[in-house]
């Protein structure tokens, strides 16, 4: 009896266990897996950090593509978060309508009145789901007043230096009219430390703007620094064309070969203007290089003796810039003075020679005119001058 009972219980137990396993498999098969959650989710199509530049009105325009990544419809909102109260948080949130699975939507944002440079974050919040962030870097305008203002100072300082050089010529040499004739410029860039400073500064400024500058600059964008350095370098090349474009030509007969040729001459006022523009190029390049170095080293203790970030405060390069600019102005003005004095000495020699001829032959007075009309050979002057040797020699002078 017991054996039969035991056999019966064992036969009933086996089908019961099989039935339980089958029911468990059905339940597990009907339940969703962990990765197939029905939770709604909105994501950025491109979640990488983005760097934006302002448009002509100073605003930042951005199109943000968003995708529904879940297997259910999802809705949410897009909000701009600021960092250090830079003004990004003033942009109102943008609502995102319900997106079906896998669909995309593009949200347009316009950011204005932000303290630049700035770092902001796009917060994408899904209703009933998660929140994701995307970093935005808002770079500085092309150039700011911190760059333009000192360049204006350089321009007027160059004009003032040329005017003072003209006054010194009138007071210390002789009164010379603005149409006093001078020779043509010579192209001797290699002999001028002014041109060397300008061109080397342009190369350094371009290299720094492309490599060492941080993404978020204070006073101009990377492209702004590169363009400013290039334009200032071109100023050195363009400056002599001001003199060349305004010079005059005349037919001259060679006393030896008796062959006519065209001789060109410029005037004192165009010479001083050309020199002023050249000086401006050198000063402006130093200013741009100073701002670039301040962008790179402003966080280092050795750079500034003050706690402020003013580029023209008490820091090493701003002091060096002022000293170097003052030396450049003085030397440029002195070189203008010597260049005109050299031509005046050549004219004086021609006048003295003419007087000697008239003293020997009185008949020459009627044919050659008075001695005061004599003009010495027009001496060429290098665009940016090299060392002055001696008065009366055809030697270039540097500025």
In terms of domains, do 253 and 328 share one? yes
Query: Both 239 and 347 in a single domain?
Result: yes
Classify residue 24: in a domain, yes or no.
no
Burial of 297 (0-12, 13-18, 19+ CB in 10 A): middle
pLDDT bracket for residue 23 (50, 70, 90): low
Are 375 and 262 in a shared domain?
Answer: yes
Q: Is residue 36 part of a domain?
A: no
Q: Which domain holds residue 82?
A: 42-138
Residue 333, pLDDT score: 92
Q: How confident is the model at residue 11 (pLDDT cuts 50, 70, 90)?
A: very low
Question: What mean pLDDT comes out for the span 179-183?
Answer: 87
Tell me which residue of 302, 301, 304 sits closest to 318, measured CA to CA.
304
Do 102 and 171 fall within a single domain? no
Cα separation values, 227 from 64, 182, 359, Å:
30, 34, 62
pLDDT tens digits along 142-166: 888 889 999 999 999 999 999 999 9
DSSP state letter for 383: S
Say how many residues make up the chain.
399
- Tell whether the model's pLDDT for residue 328 goes beyond 80: yes
User: What are the tens digits of pLDDT across the range 257-286?
Assistant: 667 777 778 899 999 999 999 899 989 999
Res. 388: pLDDT tops 50: no
273-287, 336-350, 380-394: least confident range: 380-394
pLDDT at 386: 43
**Pair 75, 162 in one domain:** no
As a whole number of Å, the end-to-end CA separation of the chain is 128
7 within some domain: no
The reply to whether 130 and 85 lie within a common domain is yes
Range of lowest pLDDT (190-194, 224-228, 285-289, 336-340):
190-194
Q: Count the Cβ atoms, other than its own, within 10 Å of residue 202.
A: 23
Query: Within this chain, do residues 109 and 199 fall inside the same structural domain, yes or no?
Result: no
The number of domains in the chain is 2
Q: Is the same domain home to 202 and 300?
A: yes
- pLDDT for 165 equals 93
- Residue at a domain's end among 92, 118, 138: 138
Average of pLDDT values for 206-218? Answer: 80
% of the chain residues with pLDDT over 70: 77
Tell me, yes or no, whether 334 and 208 share the same domain: yes
**Per the domain annotation, does 231 fall within a domain?**
yes
CA geometry: angle 164, 170, 171, nearest 5 deg: 85
Residue that is last in its domain, among 138, 157, 183: 138
Q: How many other CB atoms sit within 10 Å of the CB of residue 303? A: 15
What residues contact 395, with CB distance under 8 A and at least 6 apart? 342, 387, 388, 389
> Is the pTM here over 0.85, yes or no?
no
Nearest to 227 by CA among 284, 157, 275: 284
Residue 66 domain-assigned (yes or no): yes
Give domain status of residue 182, yes or no: yes
Q: Do residues 84 and 213 share a domain?
A: no
Q: Is there a domain that residue 15 lies in? A: no
Q: Where is mean pLDDT largest: 204-213, 273-282, 351-360, 370-379?
A: 273-282
Banded model confidence at residue 387, pLDDT cuts 50, 70, 90: very low
Distance CA 66, CA 237 (A): 51
pLDDT score of 390:
32
> Confidence class of residue 350 from pLDDT cuts 50, 70 and 90?
confident
* pLDDT above 80: residue 109: yes
Buried b (16+ CB within 10 A) or exposed e, 340-358: bbbbbbbbeebbeebeeeb
Place of tokens 């301040």: 294
Six-digit token pair at 240? 């002599």
158, part of any domain: yes
**Buried/exposed 143-182: b ≥16 CB within 10 Å, e otherwise:** bbebbeebbeebbebbbebbeebbebbeeeeeebeeebbb
Same domain for 304 and 325?
A: yes
The CATH number linked to 81 is 2.60.40.10
Of 138, 171, 188, the one marking the end of a domain is: 138
pLDDT at position 88: 79
């Amino acid at each position: 009896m017991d054996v039969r009972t035991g056999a019966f219980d064992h036969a009933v137990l086996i089908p019961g266990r099989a039935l339980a396993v089958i029911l468990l498999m059905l339940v597990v098969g009907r339940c969703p897996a962990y990765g197939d959650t029905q939770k709604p989710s909105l994501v950025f199509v491109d979640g990488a950090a983005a760097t934006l530049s302002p448009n002509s009105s100073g605003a930042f325009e951005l199109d943000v593509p968003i995708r529904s990544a879940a297997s259910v419809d999802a809705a949410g909102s897009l909000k701009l978060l600021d960092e250090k109260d830079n003004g990004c948080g003033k942009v109102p949130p943008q609502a995102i309508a319900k997106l079906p699975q896998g669909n995309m939507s593009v949200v347009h944002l316009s950011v204005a009145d932000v303290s630049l440079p700035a770092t902001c974050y796009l917060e994408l919040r899904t209703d009933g789901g998660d929140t994701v962030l995307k970093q935005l870097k808002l770079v500085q305008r092309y150039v700011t007043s911190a760059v333009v203002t000192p360049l204006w100072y350089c321009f007027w300082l160059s004009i003032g230096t040329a005017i003072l050089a003209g006054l010194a010529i009138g007071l210390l040499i002789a009164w010379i009219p603005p149409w006093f004739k001078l020779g043509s410029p010579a192209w001797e860039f290699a002999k001028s430390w002014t041109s060397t400073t300008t061109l080397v500064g342009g190369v350094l400024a371009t290299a720094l703007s492309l490599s060492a500058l941080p993404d978020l600059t204070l006073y101009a964008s990377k492209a702004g620094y590169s363009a400013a350095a290039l334009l200032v370098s071109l100023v050195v090349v363009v400056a002599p064309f001001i003199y060349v474009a305004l010079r005059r030509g005349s037919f001259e007969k060679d006393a030896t070969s008796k062959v006519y040729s065209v001789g060109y001459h410029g005037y004192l006022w165009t010479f001083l203007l050309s020199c002023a523009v050249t000086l401006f190029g050198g000063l402006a390049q130093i200013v741009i290089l100073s701002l670039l170095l301040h962008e790179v080293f402003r966080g280092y203790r050795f750079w500034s003796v003050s706690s402020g970030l003013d580029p023209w405060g008490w820091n090493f390069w701003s002091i060096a810039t002022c000293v170097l600019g003052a030396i450049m102005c003085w030397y440029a003005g002195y070189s203008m003075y010597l260049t005109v004095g050299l031509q005046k000495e050549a004219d004086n020699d021609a006048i003295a020679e003419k007087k000697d001829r008239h003293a020997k032959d009185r008949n020459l007075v009627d044919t050659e005119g008075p001695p005061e009309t004599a003009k010495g050979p027009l001496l060429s002057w290098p665009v940016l001058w090299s060392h002055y040797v001696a008065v009366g020699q055809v030697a270039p002078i540097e500025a």
